[in-house]
A and B are shown apart, each in its own frame.
Chain A
Amino acid sequence: MTTPYKAVQSVSFLTTNAVFIGRSIRLSLRNVEALLMAVILPVMLMLLFTYVFGGAIDTTGNYVNYVVPGIILLCAGFGSSSTAVNVAEDMTNGIIDRFRTMPITSISVITGHVVASVARNLLATGIVIGVAYLVGFRPTGSVMDWLGALGVITLFILAFTWLFAAIGLASGNPSAASGYGFALLFLPYISSAFVPTDTMPTWLRGVADNQPITPVIETIRGLLTGTPIDNSAWLAAGWCVLLLLIAIGWSIWTFRRKAARR
């Protein structure tokens, strides 16, 4: 024991990530309220838009097919936002110091949250689609279309989860994280999620057409219900990858910066 101890006994990157992913999934399962909210809120919104507003927005009764892609994204955004709180909680808890003083890649604690969030949100998305079927959603897409839509949804969830993780890292405490995260959740309302953007005033339409949510929704809608996609798919992929890269970079930078000054 008193001999010099210089050996770098690093645990493999894979094991570290597996442990942190397991931890985050366990935390997700224990936070029953958040899990329920992530499913119930979008379902409530879907029912609200289908049965209450739907008739006024689109009198043909076909509104459910229009709105479901928007609800899926709303659900994904809402579900990802809890990552901000989870990450902020970890950063303010003592456990992060434990991880940081161990010979492991401690940022994997964030990766764990991201992977758990993607799993959680895909599950919630499945439930939302199931409920959509029950209220009359009749998609026309082929298996390939569905796979494409799943890919876009996953990419979107991944990008927004990382964005929320970065917000969680940057904000000082869980309630601040929740507050900042809330702002992002308004994006779907100013997009083509609930109404076509050409019904909006010109200035707002400019915002709605050029923000990341609209192309993502148009792509999913096109794949599932056969509406025209045009260049939305490229725009959606471009936006998501761009946001993902920015969010990961921002996260790593914040994680390191917070380590150096406390």
Chain B
Amino acid sequence: MTELAVQVMALRKAYGKQVVLDGIELAVPAGSIFALLGPNGAGKTTLIHILTTLVAADEGVARVFGCDVASEKNAVKSAISLTGQFAAVDEMLTGEENLRMIGRLSGLSPSQSRARAAELLTGFDLTAAAGKRVKTYSGGMRRRLDLAISLVVDRPILFLDEPTTGLDTASRRALWDIILSLKQRGVTIFLTTQYLEEADQLADTAAVISGGRIVATGTPGELKSRIGTEVLELRDENDGLIRLIATDGTLQDLRQIMNDLSLSFPGNTKLSLRKPSMDDVFLALTAPELEVAAP
């Protein structure tokens, strides 16, 4: 049996009456890239906070490499590295000082910390800014430094909370390359994202979270196949999406759909037929008002 990097069972968390996680079940095999997909407020960050020992769950079990996040905190902390949604960097220190500080706190000697900091500054294209205080860094530089800090020592699992939010396309690609190279080295990656393309590009397995529940799991391919082989997209005159309809793409099926549609939509409704994307999966699973008819 494959070893599990993350195992979550019947996990619940509420803030007052606001239920954030409502019985989460997950299993992430070691050495894989796992993507947790969901819109804002779905509970992604709360789940990451529980798995990284920052927040205590109300009920249920969460284990990281077999260690319980509530009762074996230190063992879990030894196995994880977290790059949160907001850069966890020290503003008043320079980039290099940040890296060296984390090196020392991770058990490296002063000289090892210095050497590792130099390596990472080069690797993340931050050498020029190494001696500048982080508060002068741009958003992209902060993100890069943040990720570099997470990699000062090799931990078996890296949590990335919306790592590419706010990054330009080039930086996003660069980050994807880093993530894939970490997987090559055997690091398990647990990332959250709103970008469905990201899960499609990176993840071995993905889960869709909505309203505090996992509404679908599988490989990105499996998730896509749940929606059919083709998607018919309906847009109004202002190009607003009205409806997605799954179809097998045959004339017979399309004719049937057309017959149904002509009764309920105006004549200027625009149609297009395409392959389903992760976005379709996402919409279909998380936004019931854009309901997708079964093929």
On A, residues with C-beta under 8 Å from B are 1-2, 4-11, 15-16, 19, 23, 26-27, 30-31, 93-104, 259-262
- B106 is an interface residue with CB less than 8 A from chain A: yes
Q: How far is the CB of B75 from chain A (nearest CB, A)?
A: 5
Cβ-defined contact, A8 with B74, below 8 A: yes
- B282 is an interface residue with CB less than 8 A from chain A: no
Cβ-defined contact, B78 with A93, below 8 A: no
Known contacts A1-B156, A100-B54, A262-B55: A6-B66 contact under CB 8 Å: yes
Cβ-defined contact, A94 with B84, below 8 A: yes
Cβ-defined contact, A98 with B82, below 8 A: yes
Cβ-defined contact, A1 with B89, below 8 A: no
Q: Name the A residues within 8 Å of B126 (CB-CB).
A: none
List 16 additional A-B contacts (Cβ < 8 Å) besides A94-B146, A100-B54, A101-B53.
A4-B3, A4-B65, A6-B65, A6-B67, A6-B78, A16-B105, A27-B93, A30-B92, A93-B90, A94-B88, A95-B88, A97-B82, A98-B82, A98-B102, A103-B77, A260-B56
Cβ-defined contact, B89 with A95, below 8 A: yes
Q: Give the residue name and chain of the A residue nearest to B142 (CB).
A: A94
Q: Name the B residues within 8 Å of A4 (CB-CB).
A: 3, 65-66
Chain B 29-67 against A: per-residue CB contact (8 Å), 1 yes, 0 no?
Answer: 011000000000000000001001111100000000111
Cβ-defined contact, B79 with A5, below 8 A: yes
Q: How far is the CB of A259 from chain B (nearest CB, A)?
A: 7
- Tell me the complex Cα distance, A103–B65, Å: 15
Q: Give the residue name and chain of the A residue nearest to B98 (CB).
A: A95
- B270 is an interface residue with CB less than 8 A from chain A: no
Q: Give the residue name and chain of the A residue nearest to B79 (CB).
A: A5
Query: What are the 8 A-B residue pairs with the smallest beta carbon separation, nearest first?
Result: A1-B186, A98-B88, A94-B88, A103-B77, A5-B156, A94-B86, A5-B79, A103-B78
Q: Name the B residues within 8 Å of A7 (CB-CB).
A: 75, 78
Known contacts A4-B3, A97-B82: A104-B105 contact under CB 8 Å: yes
Across the interface, A93 reaches (CB within 8 A) one of B91, B102, B133, B156, namely B91
